[in-house]
Amino acid sequence: MSGPRIGVLALQGDVREHLAALNEAGAEPVSVRRREELDAVEALLIPGGESTAISHLLRELELADPLRARLADGMPAYGSCAGMILLASDIIDAGVQGRAAIPLSGIDMTVRRNAFGRQVNSFEGAVDFDGLDEPVHAVFIRAPWVERIGPGVRVLAEAAGHPVAVRQGRVLATSFHPEVTGDRRIHRLFVDIVRDCA
């Protein structure tokens, strides 16, 4: 039995790593760069990278509004790092006007970009993750954190006193990069969310 067809937004960032992780987690992963590719998937993963660069390309390729509409219609989604930023309803320090990160409103939350600091402040560590028996080895690279969550949002993990993994219904977000560690539990959790929606 083939797994759910899950797109990885392939504009910038850790695309190849997420495609491999989803494949290992039992999905049928495909790259998404155009509207017709977005329309053909059951769910979407937005990878880490540079949130303003991804936002610029979403505007240029006229994908922002269709993606926002799919999320509003209940499409399952997962965002890591930059993906978490884009899935927020509000972004603090979104960037320069005209090239700012765009909130897609997949999760009712306010996210602060680069909250842990610059590239030199990147770090790794064990993080307890709600629903998983063992801690997750989390890699934070110029990572965001969540400053506000809405009433329907569940916090799954925290670091430095702030939420770094959250879920609202069918939408999941982490400020860290599980695709680079070899631990596929979070990708499997997302695949299970998509299967449950089918």
**167 carries a ligand binding annotation:** no
Question: Catalytic residue among 56, 81, 147, 197, which?
Answer: 81
129 to 48, 104, 133, 196: CA distances (angstroms): 19, 25, 8, 20
**141 carries a ligand binding annotation:** yes
Cα–Cα distance for residue pair 26/184, rounded to 1 Å: 10
**170 carries a ligand binding annotation:** no
**51 carries a ligand binding annotation:** yes
Based on the residue annotation, tell me whether 177 is a catalytic residue of this protein. Answer: yes
**34 carries a ligand binding annotation:** no
Cα–Cα distance for residue pair 163/129, rounded to 1 Å: 11
Place of tokens 């006007």: 97
Strands 154-159 and 145-149: unpaired
Based on the residue annotation, tell me whether 134 is a catalytic residue of this protein. Answer: no
Q: Which residues pair with 136 in a beta bridge?
A: 127
Question: Catalytic residue among 17, 18, 56, 177, which?
Answer: 177
Element (H, E) at 176: none
**113 carries a ligand binding annotation:** yes
**Residues of the binding site for L-glutamine:** 49-51, 113, 141-142
By annotation, the residues acting in catalysis are: 81, 177, 179
Q: Residues comprising the binding site?
A: 49-51, 113, 141-142
